[in-house]
Structure 1
Amino acid sequence: MKTGMNLLLWTDHVTEAQDRVLESIKEIGFDAVEVPIFNTEDLAAYERLGGRLKSLGLSATAVTVMGSTDINPISADAKSRDAAVAYLDRVLECGQHFGCEILCGPIHSTIGHFSGTGPTEEEFKRGVDTMQKVAEKAQARGIRIAVEYLNRFENYFLTTGKQAEALVRAVDHPSFRMMYDSFHAHIEEKDQAAAIRSAAEETIHVHVSENDRGTPGTGQVAWGSFFEGLEQSNYDGYLTIEAFGQALPALAAATRVWRPLFSDAEGLCREGLAFIKKSIA
């Protein structure tokens, strides 16, 4: 398995200001970085990032979210669904510029938006149709999609591995798969190992995230069950640490980080990577 570090710990748009961070991530021993793509206009920054990653020998995945109901893949409004496809195609274009292998995230619906009920059959059908279009865009750009289910407090459309599996199977496209995030699973799954095993064929990406979004291995996630499930599933993709801090006030507010969760970012990276390597040894 390869290891990655999500750059949302430092920024929501990677520029030359994060060059030292990239160097540190490489020096600590990670194989890859996960790049947030929220800005879809600054292609020059992504092109420059690609050169920087190549020079450091770091590979890349990416993450994005659907931040508005104007770009909602399951909306009853066709304009919103079409806008979602267009947005995700721009995200994929950005990813091409820095050699992105996998685009992950809750791209299935608008994050933080709720209908007041659970997902409907019509929403599922619309989601399948929209994701099939996105999968075609991804395939054309040489990138795979890893759709992410979230906990019930952040969305209502996909909240369990079983639901994500069902979406992947219905979309039925080689460029559309799912990911597993230990933070969301800690809230929603009864048994991490069983959930991982169930979705083994569909899972191409994994987030290693503690229950408080701090340093992996320091909280309440059932890590023994988590790593057991990965081993039993013969998972061989990225294990990417996703943690959040207070470096950016807007991002801290969006991720509900109201207090310090770790002493410093470099320490989190070192301790988190050591924890992963010890757990899979």
Structure 2
Amino acid sequence: MNLLLWTGHVTEAHVPLFRALRDTGFDGVEVPIFDASDPGHYRHLASILDDLGLARTVTATIPSKACSPISNDPAVRQAGFDHLSRVIECCEALGAEVMAGPWYQPLGVFSGQGPQPVEYERCAEVHRRVAPIAAGAGLVCALEVLNRFECYLFNTCEQASDYLDLLGEPGFGIHFDTFHANIEEKDSVGAVESAWAKGHLRHVHISENDRGTPGKGQAKIRETIAALKRLGYQDWLTIEAFGGTVPDLAAATRVWRPFFASEEEVYTEGHRYIHECWAGEGE
């Protein structure tokens, strides 16, 4: 379960939530690392999550233009590398398995045109330097494919696969999200199958078309999960949903109205629905 439903900075105060998720049947939590200044904070969280038997992944971003990996300014790209290095240090302290998210360009920042070959080259330069550090921390690196209203570098799995071929780092792969695919892919299931066939699929977000409770919208969640099971996918299926609990997050994710009755509905009914889909029930 992605914890962005509740917070952008996870602390010990969320222990009751951890317990509720564990008792619902979740295997782990996805922790946002937006503040990478204190690895010790995440080391403490790791001990709590270990005691509860919860594994963890991480979602990360590029926080601003000042550290964009696609900038034409070498100093800015260096700042991007420094930021990602700090995030990886925190991931290692947390004991995370996957570093997911759109950590290739700042969100909501556009050039006025589509992605340029030189931008992919600049990004690859930064990611190639990051790769051995992430490998040393035992991390799978999964780059999230987002919709065109949030970024422009990777809007489809095909674009992301082309980049991975350019990058040439086996520790990197695609982070697929059913919400974004619902907007951008002509065939969500086909996109998953293609990413799998190329050996690029590393992480999956289960997110409804309105960012609410999985199974209560029109995103092709059931079909995607059926395809993943058929293909032999055995990695994370992580629920991502957004509400109005945290005003800054609500504004960033454009949550202007309620999408569900409660956060508990999202994680209990979402968990049930994913298991139902995996079992092939209700088809």
TM-score for both structures, normalised by structure 1:
0.96
- Does residue 203 of structure 1 match 2:201? yes
Equivalent of 2:274 in 250, 273, 276: 276
Q: Is the contact made by 1:193 and 1:228 (CA closer than 8 Å) also made in structure 2?
A: no
- Does residue 142 of structure 1 match 2:147? no
**Alignment partners' CA distance in 2, 1:26 and 1:270:** 11
Q: CA deviation at 1:72?
A: 0.6
Equivalent of 1:64 in 60, 64, 71: 60
In the other structure, the counterpart of 1:192 is 188
In the other structure, the counterpart of 2:90 is 94
In the other structure, the counterpart of 1:156 is 152
Q: Deviations over 1:44-92 (max 9, x none)?
A: 3211110011001000000011120011111111111111111011001
In the other structure, the counterpart of 2:71 is 75
In the other structure, the counterpart of 1:265 is 263
**Alignment partners' CA distance in 2, 1:269 and 1:203:** 24
Q: Secondary structure at the match of 2:267?
A: helix
Which residue identity is paired with 2:64? S
- Does residue 252 of structure 1 match 2:250? yes
Q: CA deviation at 1:99?
A: 0.5
**Alignment partners' CA distance in 2, 1:221 and 1:235:** 19
Q: Secondary structure at the match of 1:180?
A: strand
Using the aligned pairs only, state the percent identity: 44
Q: In structure 2, list runs of 5 or more residues that go unmatched.
A: none
Q: Is the contact made by 2:226 and 2:277 (CA closer than 8 Å) also made in structure 1?
A: no
Which residue identity is paired with 2:186? K
Q: Is the contact made by 1:206 and 1:239 (CA closer than 8 Å) also made in structure 2?
A: yes
Equivalent of 1:173 in 155, 159, 169: 169
Q: In structure 1, list runs of 5 or more residues that go unmatched.
A: none
TM-score for both structures, normalised by structure 2:
0.96
Q: CA deviation at 1:130?
A: 1.4
Which residue identity is paired with 1:262? F
Q: Secondary structure at the match of 2:151?
A: coil
- Does residue 126 of structure 1 match 2:117? no
Q: CA deviation at 1:227?
A: 2.0
Q: Is the contact made by 2:164 and 2:173 (CA closer than 8 Å) also made in structure 1?
A: yes
Which residue identity is paired with 2:98? I
Q: Indicate the RMSD between aligned Cα atoms, in angstroms.
A: 1.0
Which residue identity is paired with 2:91? G
- Does residue 227 of structure 1 match 2:243? no
**Alignment partners' CA distance in 2, 1:242 and 1:178:** 16
- Does residue 12 of structure 1 match 2:16? no
Q: Deviations over 1:189-214 (max 9, x none)?
A: 01111100000111111000000100
Which residue identity is paired with 1:78? P
**Alignment partners' CA distance in 2, 1:129 and 1:163:** 17
**Alignment partners' CA distance in 1, 2:191 and 2:58:** 24
Which residue identity is paired with 1:226? T
Q: Is the contact made by 1:191 and 1:225 (CA closer than 8 Å) also made in structure 2?
A: no
Which residue identity is paired with 2:136? A
Q: CA deviation at 1:18?
A: 0.6
Q: Deviations over 1:119-164 (max 9, x none)?
A: 1111111111111111122012211110011000001111000011
Moved over 4 A (4+): none
Which residue identity is paired with 1:214? G
In the other structure, the counterpart of 1:115 is 111
In the other structure, the counterpart of 2:49 is 53
Which residue identity is paired with 1:244? F
In the other structure, the counterpart of 1:24 is 20
Q: CA deviation at 1:268?
A: 1.0
**Alignment partners' CA distance in 2, 1:130 and 1:143:** 17
Which residue identity is paired with 2:177? D
Which residue identity is paired with 2:206? V
Equivalent of 1:214 in 212, 215, 218: 212
